[in-house]
């Protein structure tokens, strides 16, 4: 799939105010600073469609982007950012869980994890919660430019072994780098296939 059209639609903290259209949508979620917004820019070949920052906590709302006029990409705030105050953390958690619980248009969540780190409890808990709530998800390993190919392979194997302690199978996964454009075709083709179903 080639992205010919990508446009910001709306930001809000209330799932009931998300676009009413029934277009299929795909949401990016993961820890603050893992690279969710950068990945959206990489996929759409746009430098600053989604706002990015070296400091965690940049994305604070549910952001909808209309792609090729027939599906949505959704950029979400990160979880697990310690410097966000406790009360705003609760609000985040609430609207993130409401988004995933009530957004019927959501086809799949993409859970982003930094390829350099072993599975973190917060990510495992979030994937567990998605599973328990019947929300399909894939894992996206980000920042693959930071490791050599052999290290990537070893790391994925370690990750798989830990995941298989909880899950019957390793969830579907993608290896990406937003700075080196790795994984763009695979992800877009995957979304294309789901859009056709
Ligand atoms: P929040 O909105 O704060 O939750 O963060 P986010 O997950 O949207 O991360 P964002 O895309 O803003 O990127 C965070 C930092 O990681 C920025 O400094 C990016 O330049 C950097 N970054 C993102 N993706 C990559 C990547 O593939 N490779 C490298 N080397 N850096 C990346
Ligand atoms: Mg962001």
pLDDT 10s digits, 56-67? 888 889 999 999
Residue nearest to atom 22 of ligand 1 (CA): 35
Q: Is residue 143 part of a domain?
A: yes
Return d(Cα 70, Cα 7) in angstroms, integer: 11
pLDDT class of 81 with cuts at 50, 70, 90: low
Q: Is residue 169 part of a domain?
A: yes
pLDDT class of 80 with cuts at 50, 70, 90: confident
Q: Is residue 122 part of a domain?
A: yes
The contacts of residue 169 (CB under 8 Å, 6+ apart) are none
Ligand 1 neighbourhood includes 33 CB (under 6 angstroms): yes
pLDDT class of 88 with cuts at 50, 70, 90: low
pLDDT at 22 over 80: yes
Return d(Cα 126, Cα 66) in angstroms, integer: 26
pLDDT class of 1 with cuts at 50, 70, 90: confident
Q: For the chain, give the mean pLDDT.
A: 93
What pLDDT does 82 receive? 58
Q: Is residue 174 part of a domain?
A: yes
**Which CATH number goes with the domain that contains 168?**
3.40.50.300
| Residue range(s) defining the domain that contains residue 75 | 6-196
- The answer to whether the CB of 105 falls within 8 A of the CB of 25 is yes
Return d(Cα 148, Cα 15) in angstroms, integer: 40
Q: Is residue 96 part of a domain?
A: yes
What pLDDT does 144 receive? 98
Please state the rounded mean pLDDT for residues 25-49.
96
Ligand 1 neighbourhood includes 77 CB (under 6 angstroms): yes
Return d(Cα 165, Cα 169) in angstroms, integer: 9
Q: Is residue 1 part of a domain?
A: no
What pLDDT does 116 receive? 96
What pLDDT does 57 receive? 86
Candidate from 27, 32, 33, 95 with most ligand 1 atoms within 8 A of CB, to mutate: 33
pLDDT at 70 over 70: yes
Ligand nearest to the CA of 30: 1
pTM of the model: 0.95
Task: Quickly list DSSP for the chain.
Answer: -----EEEEEEES-GGGS--S---EEEEEEBTTSSHHHHHHHHHT-SSSS---SSS----SEEEEEETTTEEEEE-PPB--TTS-HHHHHHHHHHHHHHHHH-TTEEEEEEEEETTSPPPHHHHHHHHHHHHTT--EEEEEE-GGGS-HHHHHHHHHHHHHHHTTT-SSPPPEEE-BTTTTBTHHHHHHHHHHHHH-
Closest C-alpha to 77, from 29, 17, 120, 129: 29
Ligand 1 neighbourhood includes 103 CB (under 6 angstroms): no
pLDDT at 4 over 70: yes
Sign of CA dihedral 26, 31, 35, 38: positive
Instruction: State how many domains the chain has.
Output: 1
What pLDDT does 84 receive? 62
Q: Is residue 11 part of a domain?
A: yes
């Amino acid at each position: 799939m080639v992205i010919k059209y990508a446009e910001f639609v709306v930001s809000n903290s209330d799932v009931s105010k998300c676009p009413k259209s029934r277009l299929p949508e795909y949401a990016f979620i993961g820890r603050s600073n893992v690279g969710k917004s950068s990945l959206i820019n990489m996929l759409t070949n746009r430098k600053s469609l989604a706002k990015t920052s070296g400091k965690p906590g940049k994305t604070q709302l549910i952001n909808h982007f209309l792609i090729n006029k027939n599906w949505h990409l959704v950029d979400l705030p990160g979880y697990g950012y310690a410097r966000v105050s406790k009360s705003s953390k609760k609000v985040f958690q609430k609207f993130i869980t409401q988004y995933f619980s009530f957004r019927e248009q959501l086809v799949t969540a993409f859970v982003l994890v930094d390829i350099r780190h072993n599975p973190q409890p917060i990510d495992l808990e979030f994937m567990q919660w998605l599973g328990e709530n019947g929300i399909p998800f894939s894992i996206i390993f980000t920042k693959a430019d930071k490791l050599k190919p052999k290290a990537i392979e070893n790391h994925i194997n370690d990750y798989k072994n830990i995941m298989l302690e909880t899950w019957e199978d390793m969830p579907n996964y993608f290896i990406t780098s937003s700075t080196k454009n790795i994984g763009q075709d695979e992800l877009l083709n995957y979304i294309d296939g789901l859009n056709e179903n």
